[in-house]
Amino acid sequence: MFICGLTYILDNNEPKLLALENVSVEANIVDMISEVKICQTYKNTTSKTIEALYKFPIYENSAIYEFEAEIDGDKKIRGIVHEAKEAAQKYEEAVASGHGAYLLEEQLSDIFQCSVGNLTPQQTVVIKITYVSELKHDSESERIRFVLPTTIAPRYGNPQSNDGKVLVPGNVPLVPNATLKVEVTCRMTSMITSIESSSHLITTELNIGGDNKVAKIQLAEDVSYLKKDFVLVAKSKDLDKPRAFLEYNLRTETNCMMLTMVPYLASTKSTPTELIFIIDRSGSMSGDPMNKAKEALELILRSLPEDCVFNVVSFGSEFTSLFPESKPYTEETFKTALDHVKSMDASYGGTKIFSVLEWVLQTSQDKKKEYIDFPTAAFVLTDGQVYNVDQIVELISNSLSKRNDQLRLFSLGIGNSVSHNLVESISRAGKGYAQFVTTKERMDKKIIGMLKNAVNPPIKDYKITWIDEKSSTDNDDKPTASSFLNFFKKLSSDAAITSTLKYCSTPHKIPILYSGVRFIIYCFLSKEVSPPKHIILEAICEDGPIRLEVPIDPVTLQGSKIHTLGARKMIQDFEEGSSYLHQIMKITEDNNLDQGIIREQIVDLGKRFSLASKYTSFLAIDERENLQISEAKITPKPEVQVRVRGRIPKGYLRRAAREELFVSSSTVSKPKQTLQELVADILNFPAESFKSDRNDDENEKSFNVKRGKNIEILFNFLRLQSYDGKFLASEEFYKYFDDSGDKVNSNLKKSIPQAEEENKLIKEEIWTTSIAIKYLEIVLFPKFKEESEICFEKATKVLKKLVMENEDGCKGNNSEEKVKWVLEKAGEWITKWVNEG
């Protein structure tokens, strides 16, 4: 991993580090959108005029829309967006002419490079970059996740062509002598209930100015720079509710709407599904990432539905699969998979993700005849970063088209510097969704949520009505290629309107609605269309039709943030082959869409909305007087040739790596909880309610929940569950609730109830499974409901089956009453067990 920073090259072609005096980051979070301004101050402390460059990461869905250079504190040069090749050429010309020049280019969608030309001796320059981002929904309700990327991890594979840009392959390190200031302001529509960071120590000031909807966050410690991404999770009341906003852009004289919500869909009957788990076992996954992945996989295996087929595939430099093809979920395959997961390590070398995806997608397509109608859901767990993201997207898109959408890919990014571009691109192309965890966060809840969404039929056949039917012939409006090409031109043009297209939404392929996952979509309105009062979402699901009418916020926003995000999403559609124009070409059976047209559209969007992109770059030129030019002019050609060819001198990377030794981080360890305090915390009881006259050792024995903290309690208990959901009447099960370990004389065994009128004991497996269900519900659900819910449902389902097959001893007139009766008895026992301590 290399920290981003500034380097320069002199006559000996040896990259040197330029002093970074300070960095300041100001972030403003408003509900589910963030605006980030980064200011980096550099000073040329050498005696020569130099040309320098630095790279920096941004969040994958971000849109850079402002770029400014401030020279010696008294001169500001604002960057203007040009076509990328044109910007690079003008930059080279300006440098050759002795002018100051500043060029901002996209290397990948989440990595940018800034080139600083003709920085004179002792000159100070402040580079200011502003971007906006959509914020991801975190795994819990009413929470958003803000990420400030600070590192570029080494990427596996070969970089793509520079395409005429002034890009240098590889990464550049940061001099560890700068001061760093990070300040985040949260402004929410409703009360902020919590703010936390899993990556860094922070200080939080809530209720700013007496307003409980505003908070300020800063780093709690002085650091020179961040060696891992800064992650902030904020929770605010009603953040998940459906909302719609309208923004008017004065410069373009246009309106853009944004619809957002986090749907919570009723659980429907699961569909028999092929489930494939693709696990990154490259060297970088060693330690915590691999251990957490193994724990998550164990929980997944215990949560699989009985009617699925599944496989586990490991990848690195090569890949291997547990089974040659997916197999039915049985006791035998469950145990085989469990043993396989326990033996996993991070010994697979590099990260060749393309080849493993290619194999998985092909084998899922060629599965056995009896499973041919099973939809496929693949889950990718990785911390890796690769260059060939475009190839991966194309591979997934082609596979989806062959499977008639009977394929979905979900991705989970692991680690402190994971490529959001890779992880998001996989899930976006695969019509799933992505989640992220740092090395300090658990992934269990997030991947179980993915499993639930994967086995339930998605809501994908729905439509959004953006404008009032009275003012539109929406249903008869058949967009053509020419109408689309002219749409954005007419947004700010006074020329006669030649198109009948009244609006354009993005992403063009409306995302699938997933329970608990934020949904955001934009819509640009043509000038002649009046903004509506509400947006209508309609769908058909198993329970019947759904119609949701979302009123547009009465306050029209003034500015460009929503326009900018919408334009960035439109560019993403073009880049990934999912735009309106691509769809039109498919309808006309002309799939050979000219890349020149795509480039033209991206350039037009970039210029119109002032966006850096694959084909557009920011350029700022400081035109100097003749005297200044004669003093500043350098001969950049040798250095430029070295830079374009991307030669990294021998020893450079080793020295850069040594800079990592200067990185320090502090952590705060929490005091160890006693067992009584831990269980009390889970149950939300006062710890004192568990105390008795016995000493601490005896108290600990009275709660023979296996030693461990937090999620380990859940894992230890679920290991007692059979693959089909039953909790067998084993010695281990009785020992869990009674430290005597005597199955015959166990208090739990002695308490097996009987129906008075029948004088028969219920079957032992019915009792142990009922006890497990109530233990999950009463003790573990308060903290681990999402993680254990599928196992709970499996146990509940098998209990009903057991009662139907063995009704003797259960009180009631029918199976439903008998199940209710035995669960009531189990609930009474668990409650007594808890209270007795």
Please tell me the predicted confidence (pLDDT) of residue 742: 52
Is 87 within the bounds of a domain? no
Kindly state the tokens that stand for 93: 């010309």
Lowest-pLDDT range, 303-317, 337-351, 659-673? 659-673
Per-residue model confidence as pLDDT tens digits over 56-68: 888 888 999 999 9
Please tell me the predicted confidence (pLDDT) of residue 837: 64
Please tell me the predicted confidence (pLDDT) of residue 63: 94
Question: Quick check: bond before 507 cis, omega within 30?
Answer: yes
Q: What values do phi and psi take at 214, rounded to 5?
A: -125, 135
| Residue 292 shares a structural domain with residue 422 | yes
Please tell me the predicted confidence (pLDDT) of residue 163: 60
Checking if the pLDDT of 340 tops 70, the result is yes
| Residue 828 shares a structural domain with residue 801 | yes
Rounded Cα–Cα distance for residues 137 and 518 (Å)? 5
Residue with the larger pLDDT of the pair 658 and 415: 415
Kindly state the tokens that stand for 414: 């692991």
At CB < 8 A and 24+ separation, what contacts does 337-341 make?
337/301, 337/310, 337/312, 338/298, 338/301, 340/312, 341/294, 341/297, 341/298, 341/301, 341/312
Is 231 buried (19+), middle (13-18) or exposed (0-12) by CB count in 10 A?
buried
Residue bearing tokens 């979920």: 329
Please tell me the predicted confidence (pLDDT) of residue 739: 63
Checking if the pLDDT of 208 tops 60, the result is yes
Checking if the pLDDT of 40 tops 60, the result is yes
Q: For residue 174, name the pLDDT band (cuts at 50, 70, 90).
A: very low
Please tell me the predicted confidence (pLDDT) of residue 51: 86
Is 330 within the bounds of a domain? yes
Residue with the larger pLDDT of the pair 799 and 677: 799
Q: Which of 162, 5, 161 is nearest to 87 (CA)?
A: 162
Angstrom CA distances, 646 to 49, 72, 171, stand at 21, 30, 11
Checking if the pLDDT of 454 tops 90, the result is yes
Please report how the helices 781-805 and 675-683 are oriented relative to each other, as an axis angle in degrees rounded to 10: 80
Please report how the helices 815-836 and 764-775 are oriented relative to each other, as an axis angle in degrees rounded to 10: 60
Dump the DSSP string for 99-111: -EEEEEEEEETTE
Question: In the chain, count of helices (H) and strands (E)?
Answer: 22, 38
Residue bearing tokens 């992403």: 507
| Residue 506 shares a structural domain with residue 427 | no
Please tell me the predicted confidence (pLDDT) of residue 418: 82
Strongest mean pLDDT among 39-43, 75-79, 692-696: 75-79
| Residue 429 shares a structural domain with residue 315 | yes
Checking if the pLDDT of 302 tops 60, the result is yes
Rounded Cα–Cα distance for residues 340 and 116 (Å)? 52
CATH classification at residue 362 = 3.40.50.410
Q: Are strands 557-558 and 243-249 parallel, antiparallel or unpaired?
A: parallel
Checking if the pLDDT of 374 tops 80, the result is yes
Q: Are strands 503-506 and 462-465 parallel, antiparallel or unpaired?
A: unpaired
Is the Cβ–Cβ distance between 732 and 716 less than 8 Å? no
Rounded Cα–Cα distance for residues 515 and 268 (Å)? 11
| Residue 449 shares a structural domain with residue 522 | no
| Residue 408 shares a structural domain with residue 526 | no
Q: For residue 806, name the pLDDT band (cuts at 50, 70, 90).
A: confident
What secondary structure letter does DSSP report for 780?
I
Please tell me the predicted confidence (pLDDT) of residue 386: 79
Rounded Cα–Cα distance for residues 554 and 67 (Å)? 32
Handedness of CA 395, 425, 546, 452 (dihedral sign): positive
Q: For residue 41, name the pLDDT band (cuts at 50, 70, 90).
A: confident
Phi/psi class of residue 60: alpha, beta or left (left: φ > 0; alpha: ψ in -120 to 50)? alpha
Please tell me the predicted confidence (pLDDT) of residue 479: 46
Per-residue model confidence as pLDDT tens digits over 605-646: 999 999 999 999 999 999 887 655 655 555 443 333 333 323
Checking if the pLDDT of 80 tops 50, the result is yes
Please tell me the predicted confidence (pLDDT) of residue 136: 87
Lowest-pLDDT range, 208-217, 293-302, 665-674? 665-674
Beta-carbon-side half-sphere exposure of residue 535 (alpha carbons within 13 Å): 24
Q: For residue 95, name the pLDDT band (cuts at 50, 70, 90).
A: very high
- What average pLDDT does the structure give for the chain? 80
Please tell me the predicted confidence (pLDDT) of residue 246: 96
Q: What values do phi and psi take at 448, rounded to 5?
A: -65, -40
pTM (2 decimals)? 0.81
DSSP H or E stretch at residue 271: none
Q: For residue 699, name the pLDDT band (cuts at 50, 70, 90).
A: very low
Is the Cβ–Cβ distance between 299 and 787 less than 8 Å? yes
Q: What residues contact residue 12 under an 8 Å CB cut-off, 6+ apart? A: none
Is 827 within the bounds of a domain? yes
Is 680 within the bounds of a domain? no
Over residues 202-209, the mean pLDDT reads: 93
Checking if the pLDDT of 487 tops 90, the result is no
Residue with the larger pLDDT of the pair 279 and 485: 279
| Residue 483 shares a structural domain with residue 517 | yes
Rounded Cα–Cα distance for residues 837 and 381 (Å)? 40
| Residue 258 shares a structural domain with residue 330 | no
SS3 content of the chain, % helix, strand, coil (to 5): 35, 30, 40
Indicate the SS3 state at residue 545. strand
Rounded Cα–Cα distance for residues 526 and 501 (Å)? 8
What secondary structure letter does DSSP report for 238?
T
Is 779 within the bounds of a domain? yes
Q: For residue 150, name the pLDDT band (cuts at 50, 70, 90).
A: confident
Rounded Cα–Cα distance for residues 826 and 837 (Å)? 17
Is 419 within the bounds of a domain? yes
Per-residue model confidence as pLDDT tens digits over 380-394: 999 877 778 889 999
Please tell me the predicted confidence (pLDDT) of residue 439: 82
Handedness of CA 50, 172, 23, 82 (dihedral sign): positive
Over residues 155-178, the mean pLDDT reads: 50
| Residue 450 shares a structural domain with residue 532 | no
Q: For residue 42, name the pLDDT band (cuts at 50, 70, 90).
A: confident
| Residue 300 shares a structural domain with residue 418 | yes
Q: What residues contact residue 450 under an 8 Å CB cut-off, 6+ apart? A: 379, 410, 412, 432, 433, 435
Is 8 within the bounds of a domain? no
Strongest mean pLDDT among 170-174, 657-661, 740-744, 767-771: 767-771
Rounded Cα–Cα distance for residues 220 and 668 (Å)? 11
Length of the chain: 837
Is the Cβ–Cβ distance between 98 and 624 less than 8 Å? yes
Rounded Cα–Cα distance for residues 227 and 1 (Å)? 9
* Count of domains for the chain: 3
Q: What residues contact residue 276 under an 8 Å CB cut-off, 6+ apart? A: 310, 311, 312, 313, 326, 360, 364, 376, 377, 378, 379
Indicate the SS3 state at residue 264. coil
DSSP H or E stretch at residue 291: helix 288-303
Please tell me the predicted confidence (pLDDT) of residue 37: 95
Please tell me the predicted confidence (pLDDT) of residue 676: 39
Q: How much of the chain, in percent, has pLDDT values that exceed 90?
A: 45
Please tell me the predicted confidence (pLDDT) of residue 407: 94
Per-residue model confidence as pLDDT tens digits over 717-752: 999 999 999 999 888 898 888 764 455 556 787 788
Domain that holds residue 599: 254-263+461-489+496-610
Is 499 buried (19+), middle (13-18) or exposed (0-12) by CB count in 10 A?
middle
Q: For residue 554, name the pLDDT band (cuts at 50, 70, 90).
A: very high
Residue where a domain terminates, one of 581, 610, 639: 610
Residue where a domain terminates, one of 580, 610, 640: 610
| Residue 299 shares a structural domain with residue 393 | yes
Please tell me the predicted confidence (pLDDT) of residue 57: 83
Residue bearing tokens 């326009």: 563
* Beta partners for residue 276, in sequence order: 311, 378
Checking if the pLDDT of 649 tops 80, the result is no
Q: How much of the chain, in percent, has pLDDT values that exceed 70?
A: 76
Residue where a domain terminates, one of 566, 594, 610: 610
| Residue 350 shares a structural domain with residue 371 | yes
Lowest-pLDDT range, 209-223, 591-605, 623-637, 792-806? 623-637
Q: For residue 274, name the pLDDT band (cuts at 50, 70, 90).
A: very high
Is 516 within the bounds of a domain? yes
Rounded Cα–Cα distance for residues 493 and 11 (Å)? 50
Is the Cβ–Cβ distance between 774 and 742 less than 8 Å? no
Please tell me the predicted confidence (pLDDT) of residue 371: 86
